């Protein structure tokens, strides 16, 4: 990478590291200073952690800080905040909201979760029943959310609630930023097939959300939520990584370490999946540029689809390569992890956890509809309740 923007960023980083030696500066002090210097996410506006520079420079910035031994902001522990909440707040938030939330989000001082899905409104998100009723300068929220990753560690949540039941379901939604420490927020664990409880169900009982924490206009929650979902799909399916990183790197290592298990058929499958993983990685680099601008499109659905399929096929191939060793499972203890580690633990865990990849962030079935209708321009499915007031829809 070359050119004046790169030279300017390198100079800024060099000067910053001289003033904030990572070996003597406290971690939080360092991260806060990096944000204030515009070296957090460089594509964001000045004053909000960035320098209004091309997203392509971010990899260079992160590499230079890594080479200097600088602390990171533990991105895996706050993936929803960084990948979903931050770009949505940047696009729809007021200046006051940006100043209040973006800095502690990026430094990791405040972890975020997502209160979207409900027991009867998962794939059909617009069918949510959680209600928010205006009471002066606050909204009183009641309802139940489910499959909420990381809610047990989160300070804030992005929340979609129904504010007008008298209009069609897509029109009566409003988007809020909810304080998870408020009275009336009850987080309960959901144990998964892996033994972990990274998911939760969240009960909201008379939770009072200030109108100042409303993101976007009243009744435009579907529009704001779609921006979040597009960001989510790119964040999950198009995340940054090195060549032969992620699951394909794990399986390639297993292949090299277990020559006695190799067969021509397994070799052909591995090579095909390796090529597909590399294509997905390069495509993700382009999509992340749109993500950083807060303008991801429906193309992210295709990336997320590819991510889920590759992870499931690769983890299955790894179990085959390991033979009976692939059936081992080290720990069924219910733990409450800070983040999901798809390449950690053992092959059995990776195989089981990958099953969730085709559900989280939008089911593969729904994402195929998104790709068909909004990318390929195919005729949409017939929706009989699209123009019916939500309160009249049979529940």
In the residue annotation, 232 being an active-site residue is answered as yes
C-alpha closest to that of 28 among 71, 89, 69: 71
C-alpha closest to that of 196 among 337, 369, 79, 300: 337
Tokens of 325: 């060793």
- Catalytic member of 196, 232, 299, 318: 232
**Neighbour tally for 243: CB within 10 Å:** 11
Cα–Cα separations (whole angstroms), residue 359 to 81, 166, 199, 369? 20, 31, 12, 14
Tokens of 238: 């198009």
Q: How far apart, in Å, do the first and last CA atoms of the chain sit?
A: 55
**For residues 367 and 361, what is the distance between their CA atoms, to the nearest angstrom?**
9
Residues with Cβ within 8 Å of 236's Cβ and at least 6 positions away in sequence, in order, are 83, 303, 304, 307, 357, 360, 361
Tokens of 62: 């992160």
Active site residues: 232
């Amino acid at each position: 990478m070359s050119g004046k923007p790169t030279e300017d960023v390198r100079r800024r980083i060099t000067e910053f590291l001289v003033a904030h030696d990572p070996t003597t500066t406290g971690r939080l002090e360092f991260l806060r200073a990096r944000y204030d210097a515009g070296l957090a996410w460089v594509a964001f506006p000045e004053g909000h952690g960035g320098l209004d520079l091309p997203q392509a420079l971010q990899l260079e910035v992160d590499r230079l800080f890594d080479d200097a031994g600088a602390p990171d902001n533990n991105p895996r522990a706050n993936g929803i905040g960084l990948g979903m909440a931050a770009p949505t707040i940047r696009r729809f938030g007021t200046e006051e909201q940006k100043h209040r939330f973006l800095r502690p989000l990026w430094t990791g001082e405040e972890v975020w979760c997502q209160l979207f899905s409900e027991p009867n409104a998962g794939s059909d998100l617009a069918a949510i029943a959680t209600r928010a009723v205006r009471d002066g300068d606050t909204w009183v929220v009641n309802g139940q959310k489910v499959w909420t990753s990381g809610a047990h560690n989160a300070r804030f949540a992005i929340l979609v609630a129904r504010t007008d039941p008298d209009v069609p379901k897509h029109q009566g939604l409003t988007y809020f930023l909810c304080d998870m420490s408020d009275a009336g927020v009850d987080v309960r664990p959901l144990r998964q097939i892996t033994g972990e409880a990274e998911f939760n169900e969240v009960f909201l009982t008379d939770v009072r959300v200030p109108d100042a924490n409303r993101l976007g206009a009243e009744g435009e929650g579907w529009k704001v939520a779609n921006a979040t979902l597009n960001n989510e799909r790119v964040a999950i399916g198009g995340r940054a990584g090195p060549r032969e990183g992620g699951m394909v790197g794990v399986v390639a290592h297993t292949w090299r370490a277990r020559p006695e298990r190799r067969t021509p058929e397994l070799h052909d499958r591995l090579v095909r999946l390796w090529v597909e993983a590399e294509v997905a990685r390069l495509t993700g680099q382009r999509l992340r540029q749109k993500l950083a601008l807060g303008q991801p499109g429906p193309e992210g659905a295709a990336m997320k689809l590819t991510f889920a399929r590759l992870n499931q096929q690769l983890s299955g191939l790894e179990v085959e390569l390991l033979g009976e060793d692939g059936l081992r499972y080290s720990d069924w203890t219910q733990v409450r992890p800070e983040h999901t580690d798809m390449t950690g633990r053992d092959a059995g865990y990776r195989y089981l956890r990958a099953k969730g990849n085709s559900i989280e962030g939008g089911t593969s079935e729904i994402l195929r509809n998104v790709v068909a209708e909004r990318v390929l321009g195919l005729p949409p499915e017939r929706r009989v309740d699209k123009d019916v007031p939500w309160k009249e829809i049979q529940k």
